[in-house]
Every structure is written in structure tokens, then in C-alpha cells.
Chain A
Amino acid sequence: MENPENQPMRPQFFLAKQLTKAHLSVASCFFCRKCSGGCPLTFAMDILPHHVIRLALLGQEEQVLGSETIWVCSACQTCTTRCPNGIDIAGVMDWLKEEAVKRGRTIPDAGVMAFHRFFLESILDAAGRVSETRLLRRYTLYKMRRNLNLTELRQNINLGWKLWKRRRVRLFGPPTLRGKAEIKEIFRQGEF
């Protein structure tokens, strides 16, 4: 990726237009940086929230869609709450995540995306409710295949055992909903 600080920026308007269409206009940003000031997660981000908004406005797709920031955002809504211009910054982060996946981009934080995907799959599999046990098992297996970290694995097994002893692990799956066809239809319409 080109170093954004050294290259003249060529504004593009496509991204900002797409955002406006999704009721997430970023055009009113006047760069006050209140979003970044209040964000509790900046320590883990590659670009700051106000960069995301500004770069989205300037149509710098590479930088916003490829950023780690959009995946690190915990959707705590502090930025959206405090933006003096009413920009739904957390909503923009969500939209960008979805768009990055749609465009088949490499996701810098693949684990976060995988977790979200497993979460949705587990709703669909059970046709309605999430089984935390199954979700965590699935994610752990995924992690083990990608990068086997024995210390982490041991810690997770240990935590699982502690929860088990305290009867906080549910063995059987969630009940089958009467509206399971409706749930399947929601996922079909959402093209998941």
C-alpha cells in the first residue's frame, strides 16, 4: 500500500455516495476528532476513527476497506453518540466491514471475521438461537487449525472446565423454534 502521507490523494466519490445511499452520510464531518478522542479502542487500531470517516469521504477505498480498525471497533457507540454532526460512525464501521467481505478483500483481522461468521452460522444451523458451547468449540477448532498455540489452548480448556464445574456450560443445543422457516427465510433474503 502506498504511504498515504507521502502521496497526493485523488478524491473519489463512489464510496461516499454508497454510504449516503445507506443513510450513513459522512459528508458533514468537519474533522473535530471527537470520535477518536472518545474511542476506547484506538490502542489496537491502525488508523483512527476520524481517519476512517475522512478517508471514506475522500473515497480512499484501499485504506478504509483494508484497515484493521473497522474489525477492532467494538461497536460501543461512543463515537456515534458524541459526533456533533450526527454521523453514525459505528454504523459506518459496520457498513465497511460488510462491504470489505462483499468485495472479497483480504481481512486483516481474519479471526474476528471468522467468529462473526460462525456466530451467524450457528443461528442458522439451530434455526433461531445460538449455542455458545458449539460456537466456542467451532472457533477453537478453527484457531487450532490456523495457528496452534498450546498455552492459549490450555487456558481455554481450563476456562471451559471451570465453567463446566459451575454448571454454566449447556450441553444440549437450543430448542427448535416454531418459526424456524422464518429464520431460514431471513438468512436467505440476507443472502447469507
Chain B
Amino acid sequence: MKVTYYPGCSLEGTAVDYAASIAGIAPLLDVELVELFDWNCCGASSAHSLNYQIALHLPARNLALAEKAGRDVVAPCALCFNRLKVAEKALLDPEQEDLGISYGGGIKIWDLLDYLTQKAFLEALAPKVVAPLINLRAVCYYGCLVARPPAVTGKTDYENPRNMERLLKVLKIKPIDWSFKTDCCGAGLAVARPDIIDTLVQRLYERALMAKAECFVVSCQMCQANLDLAQERISRKFGKDYYLPVFYFTELIALALGHPEAPKWLAQHLVDPMPLLKMKGLA
């Protein structure tokens, strides 16, 4: 199946591991990702914080390009997805002032996790699992913006999404239920207010540990960065010795399907998942 792929700026930078794992598993799932031609930055939190106009026009340009390409568009980044949806809503709203961009609403905007957990994909995935990830105790962490606000994302299960759990079950992981799967990691405050990240993320670590989890599974590179990059700093600050690897769901698919490159991507994390995988007899 061919879809337009809008990677976003982070996947060209600090989240190259996420990008590589997506490119790695796509052919195994018979998905052909065609990169959106000439895509631009969505403006992220910074644009909508400082300039409503720019924050709307940047993703609107991407959306118009995607429609021209004629296929549904998939975004692996929660914020890119959210901004595309915001632009879609504005472009299709007759009450909104004209943005000077023509968009007919002919394509669907997907976030990557939703796209890959469609029923047909999960059914096709099940027989391909060669290395079931049994015994891995994981909590799914969805973060904020793939689901909220539902008036923008169109999601119905925004308080308690379940599709990542459904995916993990196919990979033979028994997902652990917990109450913090859509809580905020602090996102774009990571650079300017690391102190805020520390409080929010430490809370997530503690809650995950209370649920007896050994790792997180995420579908957003910003969540991954805040949970992974800050772990050493937070451990030091709170006098704890946290060890909670943070997997992208795509990396777990790669592991379960026996993709030979998976260890290479995992080695790019700051919290090395290998000791955990070895302990579980999965690597």
C-alpha cells in the first residue's frame, strides 16, 4: 500500500533512530512510504505559541502538497500530525477566513500508530512474528497530541486509547494498564524549562514502576526524547537509579519480525535497552 509520508524535522535530526526503524519495517508490512515532496516544518509548539497565522499556514502548505500527491498522508510525529489536523479543520471551515490555499479535503491524515494498527495490518502482522517478545513488561505511553483535542484529531478514545496495546498483544507482549498513558511529558518545554520536564517525567517513571513496568513504548519522538534523554539527569536529581528503556513501537515491531538492523537503532538510545532485552532472553 502506498501512502504519503511526512517525517518532520526531528526525524531528520535527533530522532534518526525512529526514522530508520520506520523505513526498516515498512517493506515488511507491505507499506510503501513516499516522502512528501518539498515538505516544510509544521512550526510545532513555537509557532502556535507566538504567531497564529504562521502556525496555520505552515501546515496548510504541507496539506495542500499532500493533496496534490493524491494519497493519504501519514505523520510519525504527534505534533506534525496535530498541526496538519488543525490546518485541515481551518481549511475546511467555511467560517474561517480564506487562507489563500486551496484544499478540498480529498485525503485522510493519519498518525503513524493509527495507520499501522488498522485491523488489516494487525491481522497481516500476526503470522509474521518470528521473535515473540514474551515477558517484556511494558506500558504504552501515547502522550498528548495524537489524540487531543478530539475536536481537532477526530479521535473517540482520546482519554483511554487502546491501539498500541492491541499492537503489543500481536507482538506477544502483555501490556500493562496504567493511568498515565496520555499524560504530558512537557514536550517543547524540554530546552527552556528542563526543571518542568524533570517533575513531569519523574512522575511518569514512578507511575510506570508502580504498575511494575520495565519499559515504555511510545509513538512520538518528543515523548521518547523527554523520557530517554532526561533519564540520567532525573535519576541524579531525585537520587534514584531509574532504568526504564523507551522503545518506539516501530522498534518493537522490528524486533518481533526479526529485522537484523533493530539492535543498531536501539543502540542510539541513551538508555540502553540491551540489558533488559538480554535479561528477558530477547536479545
Contacts and interface: CB of A to CB of B under 8 A. Distances in A.
Interface of A: 22, 40-41, 43-44, 72, 74-78, 80-81, 86, 88, 90, 94-95, 97-98, 101, 109, 111-117, 119-120, 123, 128-133, 136, 139, 155, 159, 162-163, 166-170, 174, 177-179, 182-183, 186-187, 189-192
Contact of A75 (B9, B151, B187, B192): B187
A159 B232 CA distance: 10
B61 interface: yes
A74 B189 contact: yes
6 contacts: A72-B193, A75-B48, A77-B144, A101-B50, A119-B46, A169-B14
Q: Binding site of A, secondary structure by majority: helix, strand, loop or mixed?
A: helix
Which of B10, B47, B192, B193 has most chain A Cβ within 10 Å? B192
B10 to A, nearest CB: 7
B41 A41 contact: no
A44 B229 contact: no
Contacts of A186: 53-54, 57-58, 61
B48 A130 contact: no
B54 A187 contact: yes
Nearest to A133: B13
Contacts of A128: 40-41
A120 B48 contact: no
Given A75-B187, A97-B50, A186-B58, A132 B9 contact: yes
Contacts of B200: 40-41
Contacts of B144: 74-78
Interface of B: 9-10, 12-17, 38-41, 43-54, 57-58, 61, 144-145, 148-151, 158, 183-184, 186-189, 191-193, 195-196, 199-200, 229, 233, 267-270
Contacts of A117: 46, 50
Contact of B57 (A113, A170, A190, A191): A190
A90 B270 CA distance: 32
Nearest to A88: B149
Contacts, number: 169
Nearest to B50: A116
A186 B151 CA distance: 26
Contact of B12 (A86, A167, A170, A179): A170
A55 to B, nearest CB: 20
B41 A190 contact: no
A81 B54 contact: no
Contacts of A162: 270
A116 B184 contact: no
Contacts of B193: 44, 72, 109, 111-112
A159 B183 contact: no
Contacts of B51: 98, 120, 190, 192
Contact of A179 (B38, B191, B233): B38
B39 to A, nearest CB: 8
B58 A114 contact: no
Given A41-B196, A44-B199, A192-B54, 7 more contacts: A80-B151, A120-B46, A123-B43, A163-B14, A183-B58, A186-B57, A190-B57
Nearest to B197: A74
Contact of B40 (A139, A177, A192): A177
A168 B268 contact: yes
Contact of B149 (A77, A132, A182): A77
Contacts of B14: 132, 163, 168-169
Contacts of B148: 76-78, 80-81
B44 A119 contact: yes
A78 B150 CA distance: 10
Contacts of A113: 50
Contacts of A182: 61
A177 B187 CA distance: 27
Contacts of A191: 53
A107 B52 CA distance: 18
